[in-house]
């Protein structure tokens, strides 16, 4: 795989990534030698601790269920019967809350279906009639070959920890079916451990103390063909300050057999947004260690009889389609829309060569064999929550990235979130958005789009925050174009609704709603096309690289923007179009239309003004979002990952003219309160006026503009791009000073809003003297931390800001005699603040 300077993020998804080696021609390491298995005396009176006869252990009282392995219950004693064929096989253990305790919400967001821990285990045969359970970790990789002697070294350096040991209580096994080992797992299930209970992070987050064993028990065992399900009721004392009452959970542990031969991995490509796992590959490079990342995806392959058809370009059905079930607790009227959100992905899989590859079904009713906790079932889980959100996690095989199953979290209050988004983003162009309760069809379509987005995550796709930047802003007002193509090429973008469209454009829902677009189809093709002609991920990389290059050359709408990119203004949440200034200007025009009408739109008989307050809040958050979209151009760099076969730079400066225009926009719309906001009178009904929201927007913007990240970036740009027209830090600070402190040079009175803004300015400027790092991401793929605001005292920022504040202090002192009253006192106070910082070298206390 080619090397790029952009390191992909590694999502661990709850499974440790710490060690792996493969031996060619062998799916699993060899089992223990046969002479470690002692002969069993068939007499009834066996020595203490020795295995007994099968019928003396698994008596006629046993309740037995057969599946991946047999499970037995005799009164309050529980047994696993592990066959020879499962020794040394990898088993994924996924722990979820099956029933959540009462009384925690709204303070703790804990719901049935939430995952709390994940591990991979193996059962291995040990000496003296014991079975060991090992916790498997996968990081270091090497294949056995004569050219490379590292395989044995990796094995010797990757001893897997033994987390439990079980004496064999009895040997069993039908004739010709191989030996089985009967293990008493009662103590293991009832004792707190990381394998079948809460992981350490979950225990800490939920403040769980010691287990109350007299109030805890195993509530059920079940066995299915590839998985065993264990339910346990656990009661915990609280840990730390707070409630002294115990909490009781029902926890479901799914033990899922992973494939004997892992799926062929596919390497991550930073030009296509997939979640990825990482290994340290000791074989890939002859003279160094290589980090390898492979994407997470479902295993889709044609049926054996259709493989030739697939290779000849015919659409075929996969051998194992991806099926989602809708939680039976879901309100019936929303089920069709959730199903539609899943089924919308069928057209994307057709580009990968598969038809009917994905579908959703209502959960079976009155079927005792179906369970929402059964790890064979992918479920959209409906949660009675005030959380306004949804999420699409997935569980995958850490050896290959193969997705095994998913439980999508669908919180009931997601409807309030999409309602408020739609009202403030589309209320100016869609009359249906102008009321507190949408009709079922509109809300259903909103649910459908969110469903599609979350399903995309469960297919392995990350957010593509760059997709919408490929669309010219004016196309978003072109009725014919936008209704045919959509306002963003990706449902995985955070580009909710077409807020650019104006009322006179007469654009319908087709041009307002997001949909699965060109990028989504292309990404699914990259991840899911079947390539049997290549034996491994390394072999298929040149083919995929050429395919990506050709696709990007032919269609600019396939651009992928990494969601955690602090400097690229193309990769932003909630933005639209290729010009943030133009798009935000259109968005503000629509907010101006909406604000005076919110009182009427949110009016509900016999109720107060809570709806108006929520709508006001949503509108001002939208306004703040527009400001931040524009701000990101200042000091920004475009990042376009490329392989060596592609021409052009990976990193480019945002053009000088665009940065200057962004500063002018902020001066017009943010640093001076617009009349349409200043004259808002809804505060008389809600108690919240525009000044509070506006102050927050200004503080957010100034905090970023005066952060050492942007300032240091501007300094570096002067050095790195000395032969280009660069927006220098000196010019930037001068522009910012003229915008924030204009009254110093015009002798105009300084009103209260401007005084508040100026105080923010100096207080935030003092951060240039703080020796701290502001961390925004703890892992960028190679274990390093990523800082948005590096220590300003270790670069030129501190010195530059000291000189800037000194100049500002001089300008203020000249202006003091020309101001009166509060404005004069304000300026004198600012001088005193600057003097104190210069004297003490520290910021004013907050």
Q: What is the pLDDT of residues 748-807, one digit of tens each?
A: 999 998 999 999 999 999 888 776 555 544 433 333 334 467 777 788 888 999 999 999
pLDDT at 838: 85
User: Which pLDDT band, with edges at 50, 70 and 90, does 31 fall under?
Assistant: very low
Q: Kindly state the DSSP code that residue 629 receives in the 8-state scheme.
A: H
Q: Please report where in the chains the tokens 């290549």 appear, as a residue.
A: 534
Binned at pLDDT 50, 70 and 90, residue 9 comes out as: very low
Which contiguous run of DSSP H or E holds residue 542? helix 537-554
541 vs 684, residue with greater confidence: 541
- Reported residue count of the chain is 846
Give the per-residue pLDDT at 411.
87
12 pLDDT exceeds 80?
A: no
Does 580 score more than 90 pLDDT? yes
CA gap 810, 771 in Å, rounded: 26
Share of the chain above pLDDT 90, in %: 65
pLDDT of residue 390: 87
pLDDT at 206: 84
621: how many CB neighbours lie within 10 A of its CB?
Answer: 16
C-alpha closest to that of 563 among 640, 464, 469? 464
pLDDT at position 841, please? Answer: 59
Compute the half-sphere exposure of residue 110: CA atoms within 13 Å on the CB side of its CA. Answer: 25
User: Any residues with CB less than 8 A from the CB of 702 and at least 6 apart, and which?
Assistant: 757, 760, 761, 764
What is the mean predicted confidence (pLDDT) over 640-645?
96
pLDDT at residue 202, as a whole number: 83
Determine contact, residues 268/4, Cβ cutoff 8 Å: no
CA distance 77 to 355: 48
**pLDDT class for 565, splitting at 50, 70, 90?**
confident
Apex 828 CA angle, 822 and 829, nearest 5: 85
Q: Give the helix/strand (H/E) hosting 251.
A: strand 247-257
Q: Which of 310, 291, 314 is nearest to 301 (CA)?
A: 310
Cβ-Cβ contacts under 8 Å for 660 (sequence gap 6 or more):
727, 735
Least confident stretch, 300-309, 375-384, 466-475, 678-687: 678-687
586/482 Cα distance (integer angstroms): 16
State the pLDDT at residue 239: 78
pLDDT at 148: 52
Centre a 10 Å sphere on the Cβ of residue 807 and count the other Cβ atoms it contains: 12
Cis peptide before 106 (omega within 30 of 0): yes
pLDDT over 80 (residue 152): no
HEC sequence for 649-679: CCEEECCHHHHHHHHHHHHHHCCCCCHHHHC
Mean pLDDT of 144-149: 49
In contact, 688 and 672? CB cutoff 8 Å? no
Between the alpha carbon of residue 710 and those of residues 633, 722, 787, the distances in Å are 10, 18, 11
pLDDT at 341: 97
pLDDT above 50: residue 42: no
Match 């034996």 to its residue by tokens: 535
Least confident of 57-61, 206-210, 320-324, 658-662: 206-210
Task: Give the H or E element holding residue 336.
Answer: helix 335-343
Average of pLDDT values for 42-62?
79
451: burial class by Cβ within 10 Å (0-12, 13-18, 19+)? buried
Rounded to an integer, the average pLDDT of 810-814 is 96
Return the minimum-mean-pLDDT range out of 93-107, 207-221, 735-749, 795-809: 93-107
Angle at 141 between CA 532 and CA 5, to 5 degrees: 85
pLDDT of amino acid 230: 94
- Give the pairing type, strands 70-74 and 358-362: unpaired
**pLDDT, position 401:** 93
Report the pLDDT value the prediction gives residue 400, as an integer from 0 to 100: 92
Cα(98)–Cα(65) distance, integer angstroms: 21
Which of these ranges, 33-47, 218-232, 357-371, 425-439, has the smallest mean pLDDT?
33-47
pLDDT in tens, 364-373: 988 877 888 7
Token pair, residue 734, equals 């001068």
For the chain, what is the mean pLDDT? 86
Give yes or no for residue 19 having a pLDDT over 80.
no
CA–CA gap between residue 173 and residue 844 (Å, rounded): 76
- How far apart, in whole angstroms, are the C-alpha atoms of residue 533 and residue 525? 16
The pLDDT of residue 781: 36
Residue 644 has pLDDT above 80, yes or no: yes
Give DSSP secondary structure letters for 159-199. PPPEEEEEEEEEEE--TTS--EEEEE-HHHHHS--TTTS--
pLDDT at residue 4 is higher than 50: no
Give the residue-averaged pLDDT of 179-200: 91
718 with 729: CB under 8 angstroms? yes
pLDDT band at 606 (very low <50, low <70, confident <90, very high): very high
Residue 34 confidence (pLDDT)? 38
pLDDT at residue 568 is higher than 60: yes
pLDDT at 696 over 80: yes
Asked whether 344 and 521 are in contact (CB, 8 A), the reply is: no
Q: According to the model, what pLDDT value does residue 369 have?
A: 77
* Average pLDDT over every residue of 120-136: 93
Q: Name the pLDDT band for 445 (thresholds 50, 70, 90).
A: very high
């Amino acid at each position: 795989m080619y090397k790029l300077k952009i390191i992909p993020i590694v999502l661990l998804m709850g499974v440790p990534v710490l060690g792996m080696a493969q031996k060619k021609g062998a799916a699993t390491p060899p089992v223990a030698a046969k002479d470690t298995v002692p002969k069993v005396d068939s007499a009834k009176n066996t020595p203490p601790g020795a295995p007994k006869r099968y019928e003396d252990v698994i008596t006629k009282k046993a309740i037995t269920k057969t599946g991946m392995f047999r499970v037995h219950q005799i009164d309050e004693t529980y047994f696993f019967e592990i066959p020879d064929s499962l020794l040394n096989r990898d088993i994924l253990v996924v722990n979820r809350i099956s029933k959540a305790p009462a009384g925690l919400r709204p303070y703790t967001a804990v719901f049935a279906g939430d995952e709390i821990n994940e591990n991979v285990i193996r059962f291995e045969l040990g000496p003296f009639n014991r079975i060991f359970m090992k916790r498997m970790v996968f990081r270091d990789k090497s294949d056995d070959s004569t050219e490379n002697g590292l395989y044995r070294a990796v094995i010797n350096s990757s001893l897997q920890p033994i987390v439990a040991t079980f004496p064999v209580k009895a040997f069993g096994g039908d004739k010709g079916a191989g030996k089985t080992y009967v293990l008493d797992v009662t103590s293991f299930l009832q004792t707190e451990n990381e394998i079948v209970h809460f992981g350490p992070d979950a225990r800490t987050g939920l403040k769980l103390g010691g287990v109350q064993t007299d109030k805890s028990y195993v509530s059920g065992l079940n066995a299915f063909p590839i998985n065993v399900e264990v339910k346990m009721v656990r009661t915990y004392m609280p840990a730390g300050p707070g409630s002294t009452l115990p909490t009781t959970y029902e926890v479901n542990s799914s033990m899922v057999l992973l494939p004997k031969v892992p799926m062929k991995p596919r390497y991550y490509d930073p030009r296509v947004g997939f979640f990825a796992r990482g290994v340290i590959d000791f074989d890939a490079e002859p003279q160094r260690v290589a980090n390898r990342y492979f994407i997470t995806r479902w295993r889709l392959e044609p049926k054996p009889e259709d493989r030739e058809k697939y290779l000849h370009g015919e659409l075929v059905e996969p051998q194992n389609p991806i099926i989602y079930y809708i939680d039976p607790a879901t309100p019936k009227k929303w089920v069709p829309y959730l199903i539609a959100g899943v089924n919308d992905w069928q057209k994307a899989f057709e580009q990968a060569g598969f038809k009917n590859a994905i579908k959703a079904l209502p959960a079976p009713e009155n079927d005792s064999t179906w369970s929402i906790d059964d790890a064979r079932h992918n479920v959209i889980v409906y949660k009675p929550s005030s959380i306004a959100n949804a999420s699409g996690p997935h569980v995958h095989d850490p050896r290959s990235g193969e997705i095994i199953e998913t439980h999508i979290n669908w919180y009931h209050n997601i409807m309030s979130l999409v309602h408020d988004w739609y009202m403030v983003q589309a209320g100016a162009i869609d009359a249906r958005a102008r009321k507190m309760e949408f009709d079922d069809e509109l809300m259903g379509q909103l649910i459908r789009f969110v469903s599609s987005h979350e399903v995309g995550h469960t297919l392995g796709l990350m957010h593509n925050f760059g997709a919408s930047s490929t669309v010219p802003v004016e196309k978003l007002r072109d009725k014919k174009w936008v209704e045919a193509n959509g306002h963003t090429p990706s449902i995985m973008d955070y580009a909710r609704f077409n807020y650019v469209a104006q009322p006179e454009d007469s654009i319908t829902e087709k041009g307002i709603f997001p949909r699965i677009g060109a990028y989504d189809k292309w990404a699914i093709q990259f991840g899911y096309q079947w390539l049997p002609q290549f034996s491994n991920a390394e072999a298929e990389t040149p083919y995929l690289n050429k395919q990506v290059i050709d696709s990007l050359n032919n269609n600019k709408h396939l651009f992928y923007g990494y969601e955690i990119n602090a400097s690229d203004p193309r990769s932003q949440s909630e933005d639209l179009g290729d010009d943030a200034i133009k798009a935000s200007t259109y968005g503000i025009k629509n907010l101006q239309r909406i604000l005076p009408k919110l009182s009427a739109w949110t009016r509900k008989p016999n109720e107060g003004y809570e709806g108006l307050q929520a709508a006001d809040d949503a509108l001002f958050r939208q306004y703040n979002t527009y400001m931040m979209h524009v701000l990101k151009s200042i000091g920004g760099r475009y990042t376009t990952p490329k392989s060596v076969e592609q021409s052009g730079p990976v990193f480019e400066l945002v053009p000088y003219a665009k940065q200057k225009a962004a500063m002018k926009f902020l001066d017009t719309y943010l640093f001076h309160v617009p009349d349409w906001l200043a004259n808002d009178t809804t505060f008389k009904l809600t108690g919240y006026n525009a000044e509070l929201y506006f102050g927050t927007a200004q503080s957010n913007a100034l905090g970023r503009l005066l952060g050492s990240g942007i300032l240091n970036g501007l300094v570096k740009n002067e050095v790195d791009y000395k032969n280009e027209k660069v927006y220098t830090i000196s010019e930037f600070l001068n522009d910012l000073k003229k915008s924030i402190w204009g009254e110093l040079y015009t002798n105009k009175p300084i009103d209260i809003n401007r005084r508040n803004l100026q105080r923010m300015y100096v207080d935030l400027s003092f951060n240039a003297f703080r020796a701290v790092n502001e961390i925004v991401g703890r892992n960028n793929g190679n274990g390093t931390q990523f800082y948005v605001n590096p220590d300003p005292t270790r670069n030129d920022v501190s010195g530059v800001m000291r000189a800037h504040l000194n100049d500002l202090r001089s300008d203020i002192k000249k202006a003091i005699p020309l101001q009166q009253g509060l404005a004069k006192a304000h300026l004198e106070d600012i001088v005193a603040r600057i003097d104190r910082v210069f004297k003490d070298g520290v910021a004013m206390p907050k």
